[in-house]
Structure 1
Amino acid sequence: MGKGYFLSKPLALAGIVAAVGAAATIIALSVVYSKEKAKNKHLPVVATERIDSFVPVYTTPSTPKEPWQGHRLPGNVKPINYHVTLWPRLEPNSDGLYIFTGNCTVIFKCITATDLILIHSNKLNLKKFGDHHVKLTGLNGAPNPSIKTTWLEPPTTFLVIQLNSPLKAGGTYELFTDFDGELSNDMGGFYRSEYEENGVKKVVATTQMQPTDARKAFPCFDEPVMKAVFHITLIHPPNTVALSNSLSSDPESIKVEGQDLLKTSFDPTEIMSPYLLAFVVCEFAFIKAPKDEDVLVRIWARKKAIEEGQGNYALEKTGSVLAFLENYYNSSYPLKKSDQIALPDFSAGAMENWGLITYKETSLLYNPKMSSNGDKEEVAKVISHELAHMWFGNLVTMKWWNDLWLNEGFATYVSYLGVDYAEPTWTMKDLIIPNEILNAMAVDAMASSHPLSAREEDIMRPEQISQLFDSITYSKGAAVLRMLSYFITEEVFSKGLHTYLEEFKFSTTVYQDLWKHLQMAVHEAGIQLPDTIEVIMNRWILQMGFPVVTINTQTGQISQEHFLLDPESVVETPSEFNYEWIVPVTWMKTGGDEQMYWLVDKEGTNTNMKIGSNEWLVANINMKGFFRVNYDSQNWENLIAKLDSDHKDIPVINRAQIIDDAFNLARAKIVNTTLALRTTQFLDKEVEYMPWEIASRNLNYFTLMFDRSEVYGPMTAYIKKQVTPLFNYFKNITDTWKKIPERHTDQYNQVNAISMACSSGVEGCQELVTGWFREWMANPVNNQIHPNLRSTVYCSALAAGTMEEWDFAWTMYRNATVASEAEKLMWALSCTKEPWLLNKYLQYCLDPEKIRKQDAASNIVNIANNPIGQPLVWDFVRSNWKHMINYGAFSLGGLINGVTKRFSSEFEYKQLLQFKEENEAQLGSATMAVQQALERTQTNMKWVNLNKKPVLDWFISETTSPK
């Protein structure tokens, strides 16, 4: 599944703009702070020396007294196939509710004799047959079982069926249910999505089953291991089309309850897990690949979107990515068709339903006139991610959700390979570093992180499963698989995948099965490793965190230790490996080639790493390994000197890595913060995207910590000094902004240049962007701002503007017919400096008529990114939390993370602690995020107290003395 919500690259790059000139309003808001502080004065003082002991992220539940009080199926029966008929109503009934009716027949085999059947059923009204909710029939001569009682167990979403006598082991039985449910707008199970076309409201009936919502569509054995064949029939209005995982026959005209309807029956699916099932009833149009293709490929969307060609790019790249994956896996695409459909309302980025992939509109549709290069990359990347799942995840599936990383980490990694094949000029294999790896490191450097692979018994409840859909699972999973692929070679990695898929197709696995097949490929290729794949990789997946590798270039000594942003924090998650890793350390030194060293213990020695006084050494070439690097002070000085004198001698990725490692090592008190800041001094000569992007992110942390203090002015002056040459560089190569750079990453860096220049007050920048925006306001039907630049231009203009600009942007948002353009305007609306406008916008976030449910959480985080909006959002979230947890489609963990990332005071810590205590039973999937926010806040408090003065002195020195 694609990630829950994200900021597209241009939106993220524009983020710093909203912080400009906020001081006056912040002073006004200090009144609110004072009142809140008085209200919370009874709370205890928080010690800042260490992190309070946290409740473990995963807690093993006590053994239930009865089987139906647990959250796992007992495994005494196994489904063979389902016959499901569903009739969604696309108009409300007399009570104003949208409903669906249906029935389900599941044929199952009894594995062990039992007088108890548990099957999942959630929020379904089951019809009774006499005294019971089911009809149970014996097949192949077996007698019909006698039912004692049936009931629904809401806490565990089980339909419980108790029998008077046991089913016979090896026997086959048929269970029939008749039911109805609400086709709600909560974006889970079988739900409805709405949009407007030619002034008429249209309703789509669609699905999102992962991870535990197939049970909301029909009674089923809703666990990944319970694979079966599904026969789906949909009844729907004559003006609609019905889609599911398989191809269908021509619809049959029928009359039901006096209505003329269509009945569409679908071919039986392959053997698959229930969470991969999908069905859609809609009035969409489609485009398809040429008839001579072996696989039917279709792109579905709103008719207007298809007419405008918004599906053309997806159709073009689907064929390229499928061809790549078939070659990469050495395995043919497993199905006869690949439908991909863009939904107006969808809670995730996309979902890998086998043969019918569902997408958020911004993840599938691309309009060259309105969409940026970042939008284009996102479409290609999400398509590649979901198609990678067709084999890895769908054909072969993890046994249980504790190994979710195996699905999502793999698909994330391979998505970059697929896009690199489809768009070879984009350098996508490099972009995995800022997009995934560094994001994962930021979370995994906290004491409240978690291992990639959890114990099965620790992941039982739906909310525990939902918590796993995070950056560790996706991004760290991708990072460690990328590292593995590098040190055994991509060719050998691919061969191991092929035999793995062949052995386990249509079945389920655990991670050890993958290690086994990769080890076979390594052995066949004759590759020498310091230990087996299993021994090496288990250290990366069974314990949280990653190491910092310290290299002494004067002695050749090399060592490792667990890297924590707050080294005083207490790690509650135990590790059988004592936080040691088997680390593949690549390195090079002045004028040399890349070399490799395996650090297999806590310490080691490699005399080849010794350098002379004027030489330099850099390790973790192109960031192939998932670790940070520290050096002796002499090598740090030599690296900084080399960056200043001739930065191009160091590979571009490692220039970015040096910056990121230094800033994070400084946050962990391993090096001085001023050393980290010195790694940015060469940027006035740098024009490549990666170093600027990483520097911008790290300096943004300083903005978060200091934009309410006296450090902000000198810091902004330093950024202005460094970014002015970059702004002028892009001004020159674009002929004074008339053209767009050719290279993909240059297009990103042009946005960086304008965003940082405007936010730091570079002469001419603000006038440039506000002028463009004013021209658009004067002629709304002719927007001449290039799509790449719109996010940062809109945000800058609204930050500098008044209600007039905000109202114009709101009108343009409401009228937008291209989802990516609407997303840019939504972002920009959060950039205003007017608190009353931000408060109004916050209220809109809980009104689905104004802001779609799928966008509400990310929009609230956008407002919190604005220093003026952050305290407003925190009040709003606390006041509306109980409503938010029931609102549907909220990524609660992402919401908490985004709202609290600026927290850096004792007062804010106490507020967060109070929020946790008041909502302990209602944190749900945000439980882990709240723990991480508490830890991050204390880390920020310590960092600010330690670094405020030296940072202020350094910025003043850099901006007042000539270089």
Structure 2
Amino acid sequence: MGKSVYLSKGAVCACVVLAIAAVATIIGLAVVYDREKSKNEQTATPGPTSTPIPTTPSTPKEPWQKYRLPDSLVPISYNVTLWPRLEPNKENLYIFTGHSAVIFRCEKETDLILIHSNKLNLTLYDGHHAKLTGLGGATAPPLSETRLEIPTQYLVVRLKSPLKVGATYELFTEFVGELADDLGGFYRSEYMEDGVKKVVATTQMQPTDARKAFPCFDEPAMKAVFHMTLLHPHGTVALSNGMNHAPVNVTMDGIDVQRTSFDPSEVMSTYLLAFVVCDFSFIGSKPEEDVLIRIWARKKAIEERQGDYALEKTGPILAFFEKYYNSPYPLTKSDQIALPDFSAGAMENWGLITYRETALLYNPGVSSNGDKEWVATVISHELAHMWFGNLVTTRWWNDLWLNEGFATYVSYLGANYAEPTWNMKDLIVLNEITGVMGIDALASSHPLSSKEEDIQKPEDISQLFDSITYSKGAAVLRMLSEFITEDIFSKGLQTYLEEFKYKNTVYTDLWRHLQMAVDKAGIKLPNTVEEIMNRWILQMGFPVVTINSKTGEITQKHFLLDPDSVVDTPSPFNYEWFVPLTWIKNGGPEQQYWLLNEKDTNADLVLGSSDWLVANINMKGFYRVNYDSENWEHLLTKLSSSHRDIPEINRARLIDDAFNLARAKMVNTTLALRTTKFLDKEVEYMPWKTARNNLNYFYLMFDRSDVYGPMQAYMKKQVTPLFNYFKNITSDWKDIPEKHTDQYNQVVAISTACSAGVAGCKELTTGWFREWMSNPDNNKISPNLKSTVYCSAISAGGVEEWDFAWSMFKKATIASEAEKLMDALSCTKQPWLLNRYLEYCLDPQKIRKQDATSAIVSIAGNNVGQPLAWDFIRANWRHLYNEYGGGSFNFGRLISGVTRRFSTDFEYKQLLQFKEDNAGQLGSASASLEQALEGTKANINWVTLNKKEVLDWFNNEASSTR
């Protein structure tokens, strides 16, 4: 249960008096702010003591030139009052005003206070930007200087004498900031409802943007208690981490507003702070429940019951994690709010979780089963953080992988509990692990855990929010849970959380507690948990394990998608891993063995003349597997004759491993293609989806060449039985398949069949779409099939279909429906429509800032749109960088998405030129650009080596009559 701490009436009245007295001064600063934000960021905010601030040198000498806070001061609590204006001022700026008092303790003698402040204009007190007061009998030394250090984002307060060690002080600041639409810090989200523009004031603090809302010690280890007060217009509601008290009517600067205060937060990091002012409505749990659960969204979304599914599943998932962690939910309430504009998928703010609308809202009549799964897994991910990340927090961002990788892994456990028929524990392989292996097989990948000293600047931190952190982190923790068992993994977590609750940790603390659980259970491991796992987190990449079934020899080697690439990143373990090898022979019981060296031999792996062996059962380990040629042939025979004898996940893994081994020149490309021949008998989702994903690479490389025709003919042959299978089990497309993964595979069947030209497919989808065009108010297309139908019809059509879809997109009141239409608009084959769509991406009134990256990447996925998108990116890079934020979580995805097709020397040179032209303006896209260069080089080599062989194989298979 959360603690309850209340302010006295006297303290509240004092805050109100201070607020009223300061308002006139603060509002006047809006004009100053408007002028100053356009100035060069290397100059100080003007004021009586301001002096020009030099650029931070490459080797910092002064404390304020370093990006990490000194350890001399520790915050205890904040008392923050903010007043966001939901209408623009005379300068057409949306602003917020406020004041903050932070109480801190002096741990080491210092005459310097450094506190983060970014893009805030501060009121001057007697020539200073802050007011310092001693508490508990301590005397505050006079201030000698206050100024803003722009490069490192500090308010620098120099004192005439040192602070006393052990004493506590209060630093008071008053400020004005812009309530911008930049999706970071305290920002503005807009939407239209009944023809009226509505404005929401909301937050996204992670990783380093709390300092944009008020001056604070903005590092995860600087935990404190937050007392929040929000001033807001009548007719709106204010929310924060703590429970909101009843609003009080007050008059501020002649304006009647409401003041809402909140229960103080638990001790927590600044990045978990959240507050929202909106006119949303909510649905909530029953009063007798131990934890109050409220789902907040636009009024129409709540009226349409789009929040019902989230409310239905939040309670059970919370209960699951309480049992899994053996720890009660630490707070009294869980607010979850769906925002029209949000940069991430969701954010785990303690007690007030913020979401994109697509991640929280679900409408059974309109949304697909994929939308439903996304809502369940995202809710589960964020609720997992309530303990792992919020209650116990990693000390610094270099261990972000532990926080996010863990939440990603256990989100599948929580979703599996909430929806036990969905097979979520298996879907993690397809959704998370398969894709990230392609990234981690690049020489430009990075280890999961970085050194603290290597992660300093905000842009360094932002680059860590990538698929390695989330998906590989999940994969290696899943692997650990598998070899020590899920029960022991859970027991280790329980003692870890109990020891470190409300504190900060490093990853070795978790290893220690898991080792304690392993030892207590008597589980025998070849090395300690720390020794095993450090090889998976402190070096990048993963191994390919090669099994010789004739001799029993096993070898491991660092797997690189391009074997000719140069690995510059040193490894403390010489790129060797402790590998938990599992396998089955001839469909028998699973066996396990630890590969601890580069090479070993195990007689149990030796096969007879007609035996077969498949390894890495259900993809429990984060590694690929190669076999000797004889076992590969036996496996291909088994797939052709009795494919169900091989577990479904491993059928998918054989395809994925073979295609990637072929790209790495470890097996022949035709062997990889042969793993798809059994698909004309396969009806399960995971093998088909994996094959589609891998063959998509062939489309990217060859859809502008003479390979395309024979490849299409082969795919038509393979997918026709699957298309007919779903046509039959759905009674000619009238019914919805019962199984969750069958609903997914029906989509695969139709999309593949239509793109390959299967008879009747395109007529089916365009017919459904035309029927909708004739009656726009009655869309009878099955929600599961909408994405495929929309794309197929728009691809086959022209401006009439595109304009209709655009009009439906603009009218859509359900976010998941709008997202499907937005993606489908990129499917047109008309270049002028694609160029028009790209231009729309620069207009937030047409395409929201949060969606611009996705729209551009979708256009680049179209072979007609790819060169248009690349030209657009190059022509508008500076605008995108400045307006959409170089530190955005998905900014790097823009580069990777637009360059996936690059496979010529000319395109490689264009990339190099782009890197040179935009040096210093790449931000969080820097790593993605290096990966794009490496990937392009590998594509060039692969196409040169394989094109003729691939063309011959498809020609032969397309014409065969088997």
Contact map agreement 1:492 1:518 (CA 8 A) in 2: yes
Runs of 5+ unmatched residues, structure 1: 1-59
Could you tell me which residue of structure 2 aligns to residue 958 of structure 1? 957
In the alignment, does 2:357 pair up with 1:361? yes
Q: SS of the counterpart of 1:442?
A: helix
Could you tell me which residue of structure 1 aligns to residue 269 of structure 2? 273
1:360-395 deviation line (CA, Å, top 9, x unaligned): 000000000110000000000000000000000000
Could you tell me which residue of structure 2 aligns to residue 17 of structure 1? none
Contact map agreement 1:61 1:458 (CA 8 A) in 2: no
Rounded to whole Å, the distance in 2 between the matches of 1:206 and 1:62 is 36
Q: SS of the counterpart of 1:660?
A: helix
Could you tell me which residue of structure 2 aligns to residue 665 of structure 1? 661
In the alignment, does 2:77 pair up with 1:81? yes
Could you tell me which residue of structure 2 aligns to residue 154 of structure 1? 150
Rounded to whole Å, the distance in 2 between the matches of 1:875 and 1:591 is 52
Out of 109, 113, 116, the residue aligned to residue 117 of structure 1 is 113
Could you tell me which residue of structure 2 aligns to residue 904 of structure 1? 903
1:269-319 deviation line (CA, Å, top 9, x unaligned): 100000000000000000001111100000000000000000000000001
Q: SS of the counterpart of 1:887?
A: helix
Q: Which amino acid aligns with 2:96?
A: F
Q: Which has the higher contact order (CA 8 A, sep 6+)?
A: 1
Q: SS of the counterpart of 2:769?
A: helix
Deviation, 1:62, is: 5.1
Q: SS of the counterpart of 1:177?
A: strand
Could you tell me which residue of structure 2 aligns to residue 35 of structure 1? none
Rounded to whole Å, the distance in 2 between the matches of 1:817 and 1:248 is 29
Deviation, 1:888, is: 2.4
Rounded to whole Å, the distance in 2 between the matches of 1:846 and 1:352 is 29
Rounded to whole Å, the distance in 1 between the matches of 2:587 and 2:932 is 44
In the alignment, does 2:600 pair up with 1:604? yes
Q: SS of the counterpart of 2:96?
A: strand
In the alignment, does 2:753 pair up with 1:754? no
Rounded to whole Å, the distance in 2 between the matches of 1:910 and 1:317 is 51
Could you tell me which residue of structure 1 aligns to residue 921 of structure 2? 922
Rounded to whole Å, the distance in 1 between the matches of 2:588 and 2:552 is 16
In the alignment, does 2:634 pair up with 1:638? yes
In the alignment, does 2:434 pair up with 1:438? yes
Residue pairs, 1:657-806, within 5 angstroms: 657-806=653-802
Deviation, 1:248, is: 1.9
Rounded to whole Å, the distance in 2 between the matches of 1:827 and 1:198 is 25
Q: SS of the counterpart of 1:65?
A: coil
**Percent of aligned positions that are identical:** 73
Deviation, 1:346, is: 0.3
1:545-594 deviation line (CA, Å, top 9, x unaligned): 00000000001000100000011111111101000000000100114200
Rounded to whole Å, the distance in 2 between the matches of 1:615 and 1:99 is 72
Could you tell me which residue of structure 2 aligns to residue 234 of structure 1? 230
Q: 1:540 to 1:611 in 2, by over 3 A?
A: same
Rounded to whole Å, the distance in 2 between the matches of 1:623 and 1:93 is 57
Deviation, 1:61, is: 9.8
Deviation, 1:63, is: 3.7
Rounded to whole Å, the distance in 2 between the matches of 1:722 and 1:264 is 62
Contact map agreement 1:796 1:831 (CA 8 A) in 2: yes
Rounded to whole Å, the distance in 2 between the matches of 1:912 and 1:874 is 10
Deviation, 1:887, is: 1.7
Contact map agreement 2:140 2:163 (CA 8 A) in 1: no
Could you tell me which residue of structure 2 aligns to residue 316 of structure 1? 312
Rounded to whole Å, the distance in 2 between the matches of 1:851 and 1:614 is 59
Q: Which amino acid aligns with 1:587?
A: W
Rounded to whole Å, the distance in 1 between the matches of 2:740 and 2:141 is 65
Rounded to whole Å, the distance in 1 between the matches of 2:278 and 2:811 is 22
Could you tell me which residue of structure 1 aligns to residue 894 of structure 2? 895
Q: Which amino acid aligns with 2:708?
A: Y
Q: SS of the counterpart of 1:165?
A: coil
Deviation, 1:83, is: 0.2
Rounded to whole Å, the distance in 2 between the matches of 1:101 and 1:172 is 26
Rounded to whole Å, the distance in 2 between the matches of 1:665 and 1:279 is 49
Could you tell me which residue of structure 2 aligns to residue 37 of structure 1? none
Could you tell me which residue of structure 1 aligns to residue 122 of structure 2? 126
Contact map agreement 1:235 1:261 (CA 8 A) in 2: yes
Rounded to whole Å, the distance in 1 between the matches of 2:76 and 2:938 is 52
Q: Which amino acid aligns with 1:307?
A: E
Q: Which amino acid aligns with 1:308?
A: E
In the alignment, does 2:335 pair up with 1:336? no
Q: Which amino acid aligns with 1:364?
A: L
Q: Which amino acid aligns with 1:128?
A: L
Question: How many correspondences in the alignment?
Answer: 904
Could you tell me which residue of structure 1 aligns to residue 131 of structure 2? 135
Q: SS of the counterpart of 1:379?
A: helix
Contact map agreement 1:864 1:870 (CA 8 A) in 2: yes
Contact map agreement 2:769 2:793 (CA 8 A) in 1: yes
Could you tell me which residue of structure 1 aligns to residue 20 of structure 2? none
Contact map agreement 2:587 2:646 (CA 8 A) in 1: no
Deviation, 1:961, is: 2.1
Rounded to whole Å, the distance in 1 between the matches of 2:609 and 2:242 is 67
Rounded to whole Å, the distance in 1 between the matches of 2:955 and 2:806 is 40
Q: SS of the counterpart of 1:205?
A: strand
Q: Which amino acid aligns with 1:135?
A: K
Rounded to whole Å, the distance in 2 between the matches of 1:628 and 1:787 is 36
Rounded to whole Å, the distance in 2 between the matches of 1:916 and 1:718 is 39
Contact map agreement 2:57 2:65 (CA 8 A) in 1: no
Deviation, 1:650, is: 0.3
Rounded to whole Å, the distance in 2 between the matches of 1:248 and 1:870 is 49
RMSD: 0.8
Q: Which amino acid aligns with 1:952?
A: L
Q: SS of the counterpart of 1:578?
A: coil
Rounded to whole Å, the distance in 1 between the matches of 2:237 and 2:603 is 69
1:439-483 deviation line (CA, Å, top 9, x unaligned): 110100000000000000000000010000000000000000000
Rounded to whole Å, the distance in 1 between the matches of 2:205 and 2:792 is 40
Q: SS of the counterpart of 1:114?
A: coil
Could you tell me which residue of structure 2 aligns to residue 352 of structure 1? 348
Q: TM-score, normalised by structure 2?
A: 0.94
Contact map agreement 1:337 1:355 (CA 8 A) in 2: yes
Q: SS of the counterpart of 2:133?
A: strand
Q: SS of the counterpart of 2:140?
A: coil
1:631-662 deviation line (CA, Å, top 9, x unaligned): 00000000000000000000000000000000
1:387-417 deviation line (CA, Å, top 9, x unaligned): 0000000000010000000110000000000
Rounded to whole Å, the distance in 1 between the matches of 2:506 and 2:435 is 26
Q: SS of the counterpart of 1:920?
A: coil
Could you tell me which residue of structure 1 aligns to residue 17 of structure 2? none
In the alignment, does 2:942 pair up with 1:943? yes
In the alignment, does 2:544 pair up with 1:545? no
Q: SS of the counterpart of 2:61?
A: coil
Q: Which amino acid aligns with 1:206?
A: T
Could you tell me which residue of structure 2 aligns to residue 303 of structure 1? 299
Q: Which amino acid aligns with 1:227?
A: K
